[in-house]
């Protein structure tokens, strides 16, 4: 299958700050692709370059063969962009918002009407079409934004942290709809996220950290790089416990937010050894398959930090 996105040696600087450092990656047509990274890793900068809103200082990015800088009009016809910050007019109805957007793309009459019907059906909002956007829940508003960018039948949908601000149920619903849009429209979907479980739902994941592309692969490929299981330990004074576990040659024990994690190919034996040696200091011990969190730690040597800033809605650019 061909690639819809091809990025080569892409770098971007805000003044002296290098936000993207020599990124090369490609996205297969028709796939669901996640750009996963902690706050400040460069996801939004990458998103904005693909959306033709920022010009990189080095490297190239093409969408469907068109350069995001030189052929920006052709790129814009091929992409649908959903920003983190809401961009619907909350005083207009859902259908009115879509009609206005359609007009901007030169769509009119029966054709536009059909497209609006199809787009609203794709996100299960047909019965809310006459309602003002301000009367919709956060999840519905997000879905209405997606419907709006489907009108011109983009080949690539790019969404910047689309579940920001949604509760878990609305997030799950949003992802169900994204899957459906992908299956029904053949569009490629590229999503930035700092949430591991969202990246897990995608066909491929590119992990970003501090402006660099750390690794790309399917979630299973990435997790299989760890080559074993992970033992997770909770207890008091984790810093000292980690040092003692390392000193006893059971480590390395990596500190997570409120736990320690040790990669191992013989988890049951390690668990028994740890309980025998440090049982009194361990309040909980679990054995599990590696997660993308473990992959991040494994590849970067540090914890995936989701600071409060990354979980709140950052006000980012609009079209």
Q: By CB under 6 A, which span of 37-45, 98-106, 247-255, 297-305 interacts with ligand ADP?
A: 37-45
Residue 217 CB neighbour total at 10 angstroms = 15
Binding ligand ADP by CB under 6 A: which of 10, 27, 42, 294?
Answer: 42
Contact call for residue 163 and ligand ADP (CB under 6 A): no
Subset of 237-266 contacting ligand ADP (CB under 6 A): none
DSSP run (H or E) holding 26 = strand 17-28
**By the 8 A CB rule, do 50 and 74 touch?**
no
Minimal distance in Å, beta carbon 99 to ligand ADP? 32
Contact call for residue 193 and ligand ADP (CB under 6 A): no
Residue whose tokens read 């983009």: 154
Contact call for residue 40 and ligand ADP (CB under 6 A): yes
Summarize the chain as % helix, strand, coil (round to 5): 40, 25, 35
Q: By CB under 6 A, which span of 14-22, 70-78, 177-185, 273-281 interacts with ligand ADP?
A: 14-22
Angle at which helices 267-278 and 238-247 pack, to 10 degrees? 110
Contact call for residue 56 and ligand ADP (CB under 6 A): no
Cα–Cα dist 150/185, whole Å: 9
Contact call for residue 11 and ligand ADP (CB under 6 A): no
CA-CA-CA-CA dihedral for 169, 158, 217, 202, to nearest 10 = 30
Binding ligand ADP by CB under 6 A: which of 25, 34, 37, 52?
Answer: 37
Total residues binding ligand ADP (CB under 6 A):
11
Q: By CB under 6 A, which span of 32-40, 111-119, 218-226, 271-279 interacts with ligand ADP?
A: 32-40
Q: By CB under 6 A, which span of 40-48, 104-112, 149-157, 282-290 interacts with ligand ADP?
A: 40-48
Non-local (6+) Cβ contacts of 226 within 8 A are 263, 290, 294, 295, 298
- Residues found near ligand ADP in the complex (CB under 6 A): 14, 17, 19, 37, 39-45
């Amino acid at each position: 299958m061909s690639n819809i996105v091809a990025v080569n040696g892409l770098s971007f600087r805000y003044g002296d700050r290098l936000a993207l450092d020599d990124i090369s990656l490609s996205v297969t047509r028709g796939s669901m692709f996640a750009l996963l990274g902690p706050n400040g890793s460069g996801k939004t900068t990458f998103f904005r370059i693909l959306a033709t809103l920022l010009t990189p200082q080095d490297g190239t990015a093409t969408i469907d063969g068109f350069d995001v800088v030189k052929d920006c009009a052709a790129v814009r016809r091929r992409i649908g962009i959903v920003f983190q910050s809401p961009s619907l007019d909350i005083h207009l109805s859902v259908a009115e918002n879509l009609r206005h957007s359609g007009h901007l793309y030169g769509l009119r009459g029966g054709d536009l009407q059909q497209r609006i019907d199809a787009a609203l059906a794709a996100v299960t909002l047909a019965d809310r079409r006459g309602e003002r956007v301000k009367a919709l829940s956060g999840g519905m508003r997000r879905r209405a934004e997606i419907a709006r960018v489907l009108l011109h039948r983009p080949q690539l949908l790019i969404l910047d942290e689309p579940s920001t601000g949604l509760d878990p149920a609305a997030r799950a619903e949003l992802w169900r709809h994204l899957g459906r849009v992908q299956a029904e429209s053949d569009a490629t979907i590229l999503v930035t996220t700092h949430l591991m479980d969202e990246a897990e739902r995608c066909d491929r994941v590119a992990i970003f950290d501090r402006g660099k592309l750390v690794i790309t692969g399917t979630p299973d490929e990435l997790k299989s790089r760890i080559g074993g299981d992970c033992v997770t330990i909770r207890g008091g004074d984790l810093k000292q416990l980690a040092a003692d576990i390392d000193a006893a040659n059971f480590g390395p024990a990596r500190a997570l937010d409120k736990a320690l994690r040790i990669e191992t190919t013989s988890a049951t034996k390690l668990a028994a050894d740890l309980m025998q040696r440090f049982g009194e200091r361990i309040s909980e011990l679990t054995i599990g398959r590696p997660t993308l969190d473990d992959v991040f730690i494994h590849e970067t040597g540090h914890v995936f930090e989701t600071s409060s800033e990354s979980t709140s809605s950052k006000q980012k650019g609009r079209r």
